Chains A and B, each alone.
Chain A
Amino acid sequence: MTLTIILVSMAAALLAGWLARGRSRPLVLLAFSALAVYAFQPALPVRHLDFWLPTVTLALVAASWALTAAPEQRSWRANWPAAAILAGIVLLLGLTRFLPFDAFLTASRPPQTFQIVLAILLAAALTGAALWLSRRSAKWLAAAIGLILALFLVLKVPELSYWTSFFFHKLNQQYSGAASAADLRWLGFSYIAFRLIHTIRDRQSGRLPAVTLAEYAAYVIFFPSLTAGPIDRIERFLGDLRRPFALSAEDLTEAGKRLLVGLFKKFVIADALALVALNGTNALQVRTAGWTWILLYAYAFQIFFDFSGYTDIAIGLGRLLGFKLPENFNAPYRKPNLTQFWNNWHMTLTQWFRAYFFNPVTRLLRSTKKPLPIPVVIFVTQIITMALIGLWHGVTANFVLWGLWHGLGLFVHNRWSERTKARFAVLPPRWQTVLNAGGALLTFHFVALGWVFFAMPDLSTSWHVFLKLFGFA
């Protein structure tokens, strides 16, 4: 996100916060967020795709709500305003193609009106079908998760992305030789997918609260956290959404503080560090081990300040709207071990994986007739969980290795901690402090070395960097 978009978002949040009072609150937030889905979407080389992807986002949201909504929340009377807002926004944005300038709120000029009307009708039919199917069988919930994961794979597997782009180029009668895996930049889809799966899984387990379409959609596409999280939980979000809100001086102060801190972290510290951070080019040019470490440290801090800066901005924007979004980072590089690091780094993502993968798989492995030994269960679940977190960033060997690196690290720490915690617990406080400081240093360097896989484009460059770091190249 650019500084301009963030400043416009701040103005929009103030306006939406002022308008979104009383019963219309979910609808106002929905309208602003739906507009943001289009406004934040970057331009794409495939013609009109930067209009269709946000439209598919809204259709997916509506269909997921239809699949998961409690029967008492499905009435047309309660939900037609939200449906009208969603359809109206798509149509209105589509009509901006007749304005005398290039594009208004959309990345490029929208497609033809009849195509947009057809898309709205298709989305309505999909939502209707989802409503109908959800009454028939719960299997459709699993199918919906499968569909979201399939979309995820299309976006994250470079080969699939390429061939999808190739197909779209052909469909649009564009030059297919220009197709690239980078063409499918669907803004915010990763986070939207997590929220959708969260609601579907909670519906399967009977924990999903009853929500209207407006509330559900406002949760999934809530504009402050659309692009970089945090991944809120719907029951917590609803608490803030349904609470009467009037912007107080305290809200304004807290929001201003978080926004200023976030902007400083992102646009001053992270962007400055980005100039000197390790990357695929300078990794091959750097001359000494010492400088390689410095570039790696710059990368480690750049990625932290970049991501936590965006989180601060999201939390600040949320506060302007009366939402206390969950924290995502809590001084992770100061934690004395890897387990604590992951409890304090991208916290909402790790909580999501813990709730929807790690815990269920652990329970499954321990409830078999012949339960596996605990260390084996821990090893398997941690390795697979971290590999999946790696894959979430992109389906490449480097991201998988990054995940495995952390999975292995977590397992080793778990075993070490099991063996030593009783011994360390009785040490005097001064020794505890020394141990914690040493642990933090060790953990930071373990994490920093893991970033090599993250920052490098391929395995051979990663290996080259490891050799350089330890003076072998």
Chain B
Amino acid sequence: MDAVFLRKALVRGLGLFAAVTLLFALVPSGLGRLSLYNRVFPGRARFPYGENPAQSYNLSIFDLDAMFASHVINAEPKPADEYRVVLVGDSALWGWLLRPQETLPGQLDAAGLTACDGRTVRVYNLGYPTISLTKDLLILDQAMRYQPDLVIWLVTLESFPADKQLTPPLVANNAARVDDLIARYSLPLDPASPDLVRPTFWERTLVGQRRPLADLLWLQLYGVLWSATGVDQFYPASYDRAQTDFDTDVSFHGMQPPMLDESSLAFPVLEAGLRAVGGTPVILVNEPILVSSGKNSDLRYNFYSPRWAYDQYRQMLADKAAAGGWNYLDLWDLVPAGEFTNIPFHMTAKGESLLAARLQAAIQQQTCP
């Protein structure tokens, strides 16, 4: 082997590498749809999300196709004898600090409900641990491909502020899909927002996409440990309980009492979600929050929610639900304070069971019109 041969081989190798790298930016890859989950490994009971992959055997990715491909909902086409219920919401629904079977969807699914027409009720957890209605809409929009018979959408005041809509990484890294939602539903969101990540040509090349591609690969590998252990998040031996004593600050996302500015809340996104489901019934749930009795609890229900803002939000939501004829459940104070864990929305398994009992009845009622 001489030097000329080596030089030629090197030049051709580099040329081929450059061509593949650049081509990757030009052709939509669709790699996210390829998944070992539901083929080699069982699908995940909830979306991939993890801040400490080595301990949780899970990691956060922003490719919605890959997220759905790894989810158990993607296991097979919807069977004829299945009444499919999907739940959309935040980390409280996803089940922070809870095993998959302890989450609200896990408990509802285990309840073994049967629809009046004899179909088996199967319940799917499509919660994702960031709080934003736009994030929920993004997931709901894709979830409709899976032909749900019923959508249960859990919301809370903290998912409404307009300034939070585009900041969750899942939203920020799906700018093209958000553009599409803005266009389809005329959403009052700014497509030019600096929160939205718009990769340059070089960032879309194979080299530029190496991190997301590696994450996709790691997600597949973690399928081994998900299958082997059933673990998909890190459960610390102890954690700090949600704060129950507060200072006297009563501002809410820059707003001051007495009036909550409706235009600063993302009601148009909520309405878009209700339109996105087409004719599929929706149960809209104002999810339980921690109602504190600690210091300054006369000013705030919890760390996130000043009383004045939360009370007005509930009233607005109830009014809109009544006006729009929405199937709305306000379960804000259903769960006692002792059944919340590290933040005012995250519940214990017992707290989830209280919520599950209420929703079982609602589901049963929905299946038997």
Contact A282 B221 (CB under 8 A): no
Q: Does B263 contact A (CB under 8 A)?
A: no
Closest residue of A by beta carbon distance from B7: A249
Q: Does A298 contact B (CB under 8 A)?
A: yes
Contact A249 B228 (CB under 8 A): no
Main SS of chain B's interface residues? helix
Contact B228 A253 (CB under 8 A): no
Q: Does B329 contact A (CB under 8 A)?
A: no
Q: Kindly list chain A residues whose C-beta atoms are within 8 Å of the C-beta of B6.
A: 249, 252-253
Q: Kindly list chain B residues whose C-beta atoms are within 8 Å of the C-beta of A249.
A: 1-3, 5-6
Q: Does B326 contact A (CB under 8 A)?
A: no
Contact B55 A295 (CB under 8 A): no
Q: Kindly list chain A residues whose C-beta atoms are within 8 Å of the C-beta of B313.
A: none
Q: Does A431 contact B (CB under 8 A)?
A: no
Q: Does A250 contact B (CB under 8 A)?
A: yes
What is the CA–CA distance of A292 and B227 in the complex, to the nearest angstrom?
Answer: 11
Write the nearest CB–CB distance from B45 to chain A, whole angstroms. 15
Contact A276 B225 (CB under 8 A): yes
Interface size class on chain B is 20 to 34
Q: Does B318 contact A (CB under 8 A)?
A: no
Q: Kindly list chain A residues whose C-beta atoms are within 8 Å of the C-beta of B231.
A: 285
- The 0/1 profile, CB within 8 Å of B marked 1, for residues 230-269 of chain A is 0000000000000000000110110000000000000000
In the complex with contacts A249-B2, A281-B55, A276-B230 CB distance below 8 A:
no
What is the CA–CA distance of A294 and B229 in the complex, to the nearest angstrom?
Answer: 12
Write the nearest CB–CB distance from B9 to chain A, whole angstroms. 9
In the complex with contacts A281-B55, A285-B229, A285-B231, A253-B1 CB distance below 8 A:
yes
Q: Does A178 contact B (CB under 8 A)?
A: no
Q: Quick one: which of A272, A282, A291 contacts B217, CB cutoff 8 A?
A: A272
Write the nearest CB–CB distance from B127 to chain A, whole angstroms. 23
Q: Does A182 contact B (CB under 8 A)?
A: no
Q: Does A286 contact B (CB under 8 A)?
A: yes
Q: Kindly list chain A residues whose C-beta atoms are within 8 Å of the C-beta of B53.
A: 275
Contact A294 B222 (CB under 8 A): no
- The 0/1 profile, CB within 8 Å of A marked 1, for residues 48-80 of chain B is 000001110100000000000000000000000
Write the nearest CB–CB distance from A392 to chain B, whole angstroms. 28
Contact B1 A250 (CB under 8 A): yes
Main SS of chain A's interface residues? helix
Contact B229 A276 (CB under 8 A): no
Q: Does B224 contact A (CB under 8 A)?
A: yes
Q: Does B218 contact A (CB under 8 A)?
A: yes
Q: Does A287 contact B (CB under 8 A)?
A: yes
Contact B224 A276 (CB under 8 A): yes
CB-based A-B contact count at 8 angstroms: 47
Contact A275 B221 (CB under 8 A): yes
Q: Quick one: which of A253, A275, A287 contacts B229, CB cutoff 8 A?
A: A287
- The 0/1 profile, CB within 8 Å of A marked 1, for residues 14-43 of chain B is 000000000000000000000000000000
What is the CA–CA distance of A20 and B10 in the complex, to the nearest angstrom?
Answer: 25
Contact A287 B1 (CB under 8 A): no
Write the nearest CB–CB distance from A256 to chain B, whole angstroms. 8
What is the CA–CA distance of A217 and B225 in the complex, to the nearest angstrom?
Answer: 46
Write the nearest CB–CB distance from A205 to chain B, whole angstroms. 42
What is the CA–CA distance of A286 and B230 in the complex, to the nearest angstrom?
Answer: 8
Contact A294 B1 (CB under 8 A): no
What is the CA–CA distance of A252 and B4 in the complex, to the nearest angstrom?
Answer: 12
Q: Kindly list chain B residues whose C-beta atoms are within 8 Å of the C-beta of A272.
A: 217, 221
What is the CA–CA distance of A227 and B218 in the complex, to the nearest angstrom?
Answer: 28
- The 0/1 profile, CB within 8 Å of A marked 1, for residues 210-239 of chain B is 000000011001101101111100000000
Write the nearest CB–CB distance from B41 to chain A, whole angstroms. 11
Write the nearest CB–CB distance from B328 to chain A, whole angstroms. 41
Q: Kindly list chain A residues whose C-beta atoms are within 8 Å of the C-beta of B224.
A: 276, 291, 294-295, 298
Closest residue of A by beta carbon distance from B3: A249
Write the nearest CB–CB distance from A291 to chain B, whole angstroms. 4
Contact B1 A282 (CB under 8 A): no
- The 0/1 profile, CB within 8 Å of B marked 1, for residues 296-325 of chain A is 001000000000000000000000000000
Contact B222 A275 (CB under 8 A): yes
Closest residue of A by beta carbon distance from B1: A253
Contact B55 A287 (CB under 8 A): no
Q: Quick one: which of B54, B55, B227 contacts A291, CB cutoff 8 A?
A: B227
Write the nearest CB–CB distance from A191 to chain B, whole angstroms. 28
Interface-central residue, B2, B229, B231, by most chain A CB under 10 Å? B229
Q: Kindly list chain B residues whose C-beta atoms are within 8 Å of the C-beta of A287.
A: 228-230
What is the CA–CA distance of A252 and B5 in the complex, to the nearest angstrom?
Answer: 12
Q: Kindly list chain A residues whose C-beta atoms are within 8 Å of the C-beta of B228.
A: 282, 285-288, 291-292, 294-295
Q: A285-B229, A285-B231, A292-B228 are in contact. List 12 more A-B contacts (CB 8 A).
A: A249-B3, A252-B6, A253-B6, A275-B218, A275-B221, A275-B225, A276-B221, A286-B228, A287-B230, A288-B228, A295-B224, A295-B225
A interface residue numbers (CB < 8 A to B): 249-250, 252-253, 272, 275-276, 281-282, 285-288, 291-292, 294-295, 298
B interface residue numbers (CB < 8 A to A): 1-3, 5-6, 53-55, 57, 217-218, 221-222, 224-225, 227-231
A-B contact pairs, 27 of them (CB 8 A): A249-B1, A249-B3, A249-B5, A252-B6, A253-B6, A272-B217, A272-B221, A275-B53, A275-B54, A275-B221, A275-B222, A276-B221, A276-B222, A276-B225, A282-B228, A282-B229, A285-B230, A285-B231, A286-B229, A287-B229, A287-B230, A291-B227, A291-B228, A291-B229, A294-B228, A295-B224, A298-B224
